[in-house]
Amino acid sequence: MSVTAFIGTLAAICTTVAFVPQIVKLRKQGGEDLSYPMLFLYLAGVLLWLVYGLMIHAAAVIWANAIATFLITICIALKATPPKKLGRSPKRLRIAVDMDEVIADAFPKHLSRYNEVTGSKLTKEMVAQHGLRASIPEDKWEIFQAIAHEKGFFADLAVIEGSQAALAVLSQQHDIFIASAAMDVPYSFDDKFDWLEKHFPLVPPSRIVFCGDKHILNADVLIDDRSRHFKQFQGTGILFTAPHNASENAPLRANNWKEVLQILLDGRTKAVPAKQAAKALSMNPVES
């Protein structure tokens, strides 16, 4: 073989085999980052080279471009195949989880203290039916708000049912962050931090975010009972049902942690109607 033919053959092998590592990567990670225009232009190019090789009877040009055509076709097929069929692991999501009314059961204590201080008989069903603001007389609104500012209010809250187990499951596939709008009650930092350390040791301090406006969060998912946090949030908001939001219509709502898992692990995206949220609340024991 002449030097010229050797160099030509080596070049043909290199440019043709170059697609093999790409195919391996496609099988592992899917083809989201690969562009169809590039693939089809490349395919057109190698097909034209193949025709050219046939016309001039150049063996190296023919076999190199025939193999390249085959490999590029495989690339296009793999890119077009849904990731699940490739056995690709789902994307690791960054999930931000609110505290109060999502993992920490603050409302029953809040309601109980309010009834104790004012002599009222407000129930969570009343709040779910009429809304929080309409359920509390104007002259008692400040009293209600002040309760969360009482020293130690957040220290001994009960854990929302199913939240520990659900976050343990989710943390195996996704990155969990706790995001609390703790600036609403700045004195709550220590109590909330201690509470998380006690009940959610799987969340390291580096993944606890005490903030003001949550739209600053760079997360894929935010699970929160306050829909106002979803307004400028760039990811997907899941409204976690609480008495004060039971009558709201939300694109994506979870009445409990089982439903959060259905959304995040099974891909349920159908919205739960607000009336179902109120019904779900009424099935829980009333604490007032």
Active-site residues, by number, are 98, 100
Q: Which is nearer to Mg ion, 105 or 225 (CB)?
A: 225
Say whether residue 259 binds Mg ion (CB under 5 A): no
CA–CA separation, 101 vs 19, rounded Å? 52
Nearest distance, CB of residue 100 and Mg ion, angstroms: 4
Nearest distance, CB of residue 173 and Mg ion, angstroms: 24
Single out the segment in contact with Mg ion by CB under 5 A; choices: 37-45, 100-108, 229-237, 251-259. Answer: 100-108
From 72, 100, 178, 281, residue interacting with Mg ion (rule: CB under 5 A): 100
Nearest distance, CB of residue 262 and Mg ion, angstroms: 21
SS3 annotation, the chain: CCHHHHHHHHHHHHHHHCHHHHHHHHHHHCCCCCCHHHHHHHHHHHHHHHHHHHHHCCHHHHHHHHHHHHHHHHHHHHHHCCHHHHCCCCCCCEEEECCECCCEEHHHHHHHHHHHHHCCCCCHHHHHHHCHHHHCCHHHHHHHHHHCCCCCCCCCCEECCCHHHHHHHHHHHCEEEEEECHHHCHHHHHHHHHHHHHHCCCCCHHHEEECCCHHHCCCCEEEECCHHHHCCCCCEEEEECCHHHCCCCCCCEECCHHHHHHHHHHCCCCCCCHHHHHHHHHCCCCCC
Say whether residue 191 binds Mg ion (CB under 5 A): no
Please give the residue whose beta carbon sits closest to Mg ion in the complex. 100
Say whether residue 101 binds Mg ion (CB under 5 A): yes
Q: Which is nearer to Mg ion, 49 or 154 (CB)?
A: 154
Number of residues that bind Mg ion (CB under 5 A): 4
Q: Which is nearer to Mg ion, 72 or 238 (CB)?
A: 238
Q: Which is nearer to Mg ion, 68 or 127 (CB)?
A: 127
Nearest distance, CB of residue 250 and Mg ion, angstroms: 14
Q: Which is nearer to Mg ion, 75 or 182 (CB)?
A: 182
Distances (CA, A) of 66 to 20, 50, 51, 71, 187: 14, 6, 10, 9, 71
Q: Which is nearer to Mg ion, 98 or 105 (CB)?
A: 98
Site string for Mg ion, 214-243 (x = CB under 5 A): -----------x------------------
In the region spanning residues 79 to 98, those forming contacts with Mg ion, defined by CB under 5 A, are: 98
CA–CA separation, 205 vs 194, rounded Å? 10
Nearest distance, CB of residue 232 and Mg ion, angstroms: 17
Nearest distance, CB of residue 37 and Mg ion, angstroms: 46
Residues at the contact surface with Mg ion, assessed by CB under 5 A: 98, 100-101, 225
